[in-house]
Amino acid sequence: MNCKTYLYLTLLIVVLSCCGFTPADKNQNRYASFSPGEVWEDDQGVAINAHGGGILYYQDTYYWFGEHKGERSNAAFVGVTCYSSTDLYNWRNEGVALSVSDNPESPIVKGSTIERPKVIYNAKTGKFVMYFHLELIGRGYEAAHVGVAVSDQVTGPYRLVKHGRVNAGIWPMNMTEEQRNSNVKHTDFEQWWTPEWMAAIKDGLLVRRDFEGGQMSRDMTLFVDDDGKAYHIYASEENLTLQIAELTDDYLDYTGNYVRVEPGGHNEAPAIFKKGGRYFMITSGCTGWDPNAARLLTAERVMGTWTLHPNPARGEDADLTFQSQSTFVIPVQGKRDAFIFMADRWRPRRPIDGRYIWLPILFEDGMPVLKWFDEWDLSIFNNK
């Protein structure tokens, strides 16, 4: 290339990029802030389709995994999608990480229910491990399975390796001998929600019912602690009680250590984070796609004891968590004690139009507080 051509080419590139016309850059640095509840487009200018999601930070990049939703159905007709970002504002579409199957025998056949996928990286095996809530086709929400899928590449393709209930034949660590051996059965109760029934639930009525087949697992998240140990946190016992189960070193199985959290407390949509050696969990109540007031729990150890606190949301619409339901808490890299509350504003009549509510987690007297912002950016974390 002679000197003149080189100069012309350089000039052309400068002019095109100044005008924002280089195709690769078209939508890439479009956002410099978060606008909760507004349509959020990817690098192709298409609304991000990754609901009930979770974020993995790997090699200087954030990866967002979520449920692909259709125009009319909440069922899985595509699978789990993946987007990547280096700044948390601008997201590149990385395609489908876990695809549904065309095989009617597959547990993840098109039309099954795949919700709240979360991915963690196992440094020992070099594998990316995805857990998600799986409901088998045609059975509503009755199966209450967890699905586990694995990939060698962060963006996939992920391969389903197993699915089922949790910790079959094993008692939770925090159930007493008396509770384990009780003869009270769920068939003893004609009516739910009576004081006697609630007392029995707290005493592990449904843990005993599901002991042999394994504990139910619906809304869920994963958490990796500083020591590399990972935990599966899920709504169990007909969504009446959360359970936290420790995973094996390869993250593919359970160690058998698990606890019940807030028995009978009716918590779901768990999102967990750790700050200053203390564990925080934000959850919701159980009202399906409709929003309700968030709850907050804290613990000194991940396996508890967990203490319940009032709704961390403040201001207008706080009693509906700003019309949203928790899904994940993102630790912001490179900033101390900076966390983003990630939630979904579901639109069950047009699921694809569900909106993302990302808000900064602020702290008052050491406790997390959520406030609404029409628009905000990461500089909010600077003045701490």
Interface residues with ligand GAL (CB under 6 A)?
52, 115-116, 219, 268-269, 286, 288-289, 325
Instruction: State which residue, 90 or 325, has the beta carbon closest to ligand GAL.
Output: 325
The first and second tokens of residue 220, run together, are: 């869920």
How far apart (Å, rounded) are the C-alpha atoms in residues 158 and 289?
Answer: 28
Task: Tell me if 75 sits within 8 A of 112, measured CB to CB.
Answer: yes
Q: How far is the CB of 47 from ligand GAL (least distance, A)?
A: 19
Q: How far is the CB of 197 from ligand GAL (least distance, A)?
A: 21
Return the number of other C-beta atoms located less than 10 Å from residue 349's C-beta: 9
Instruction: State which residue, 70 or 157, has the beta carbon closest to ligand GAL.
Output: 70
Instruction: State which residue, 269 or 329, has the beta carbon closest to ligand GAL.
Output: 269
Nearest residue to ligand GAL on Cβ basis: 288
Q: How far is the CB of 342 from ligand GAL (least distance, A)?
A: 13
The first and second tokens of residue 67, run together, are: 């449920």
Beta bridge partners of 115: 133
Instruction: State which residue, 243 or 325, has the beta carbon closest to ligand GAL.
Output: 325
Q: How far is the CB of 77 from ligand GAL (least distance, A)?
A: 16
Task: Tell me if 173 sits within 8 A of 259, measured CB to CB.
Answer: yes
The position carrying tokens 């619409």 is 317
Instruction: State which residue, 141 or 373, has the beta carbon closest to ligand GAL.
Output: 141
Cis peptide before 305 (omega within 30 of 0): yes
How far apart (Å, rounded) are the C-alpha atoms in residues 280 and 295?
Answer: 11
Question: Positive or negative, the Cα torsion across 17, 22, 24, 30?
Answer: positive
Instruction: State which residue, 8 or 77, has the beta carbon closest to ligand GAL.
Output: 77
Instruction: State which residue, 84 or 325, has the beta carbon closest to ligand GAL.
Output: 325
Q: How far is the CB of 134 from ligand GAL (least distance, A)?
A: 11
How far apart (Å, rounded) are the C-alpha atoms in residues 244 and 189?
Answer: 27
Q: How far is the CB of 133 from ligand GAL (least distance, A)?
A: 7
The answer for residues whose C-beta is within 8 angstroms of residue 111's C-beta and 6 or more apart is 75, 76, 77, 100, 137
Q: How far is the CB of 233 from ligand GAL (least distance, A)?
A: 13
